Structures are given as structure tokens and as C-alpha cells.
Amino acid sequence: GESVGLHLPTLSVQEGDNSIINCAYSNSASDYFIWYKQESGKGPQFIIDIRSNMDKRQGQRVTVLLNKTVKHLSLQIAATQPGDSAVYFCAENGNSGGSNYKLTFGKGTLLTVNP
């Protein structure tokens, strides 16, 4: 069958640099946002989350910024390491009923860290 190539946005950085990965979301009613890291052949791994009543949240080496006005989310990774190389997805939960986590994933970004 016909193969589908990867059409992911890509970001290539040098080890030790800071990385910024951006995401635009569509549902203005979304109240919970998550960043996931997905390595090849593995499931998405939780990185950091943020609720809509916040505009910034920090974790270990990672910071998430939320701009509700323009519906934009970003993930900042400080001192990027080769082990950070992966596809990064943002996800939003705008479901007001049913499951708490009917997450809608954004397009992933492939981060490549060069040693």
C-alpha cells in the first residue's frame, strides 16, 4: 500500500540550548492542557499540564505557557539533552461532559537534539 510520510513540524537544536515548541488549539472552551512526549514505538508520556486559570506552570527543566487570548500553548525545555529527542504533542480537553479526558491532540513536533 501507499506509505504516508511524516509531515511533522521539526525542531533541531544543539545540546544545551533551550527549546521552544509551540501549539495552537482550536476550542476556546478547553480548560485543561497537557504536553506529551512520544518516543519512537512508545506511548505518549506525560510531561506537564496546565489549567485554563493559569498562564504559566513550571516543572523540572520544562515550562508551559498558555495564552488564552490567541489560543496558544508553548513548551519550553531548558538545557535540552539528547534524551529529549522525541515527538511532542499538545493536547486539550474541551469536553464539558462524558469523559474527563477526551483529549484532542495537536499536530506533533519532532524535536531532534544534536550532541
Partner 1 sequence: AAGVIQSPRHLIKEKRETATLKCYPIPRHDTVYWYQQGPGQDPQFLISFYEKMQSDKGSIPDRFSAQQFSDYHSELNMSSLELGDSALYFCASSSARGAEEKLFFGSGTQLSVL
Rounded CA gap, 33 and 75, in Å?
Answer: 11
Q: Which of 35, 64, 92, 106 binds partner 1 (CB under 8 A)?
A: 106
Site for partner 1 in 1-60 (CB under 8 A): 1, 3-8, 32, 34, 36, 41-46, 49
Q: Which CB, 15 or 49, lies closer to partner 1?
A: 49
Sequence-distant contacts of 98-101: CB under 8 A, at least 24 apart = none
Determine, following the binding rule CB under 8 A, whether residue 96 of this chain makes contact with partner 1: no
Question: Least CB distance from residue 20 to partner 1, whole Å?
Answer: 19
Q: Which of 14, 29, 79, 107 binds partner 1 (CB under 8 A)?
A: 107
The residues pairing with 4 across neighbouring beta strands, listed in sequence order, are none
Question: Least CB distance from residue 17 to partner 1, whole Å?
Answer: 26
Contact 47, 71 (CB under 8 A): no
| Phi, then psi, of 82 in degrees rounded to 5 | -55, -35
Rounded CA gap, 13 and 8, in Å?
Answer: 16
Rounded CA gap, 73 and 66, in Å?
Answer: 5
**Contacts to partner 1 by CB under 8 A:** 1, 3-8, 32, 34, 36, 41-46, 49, 89, 95, 98-108
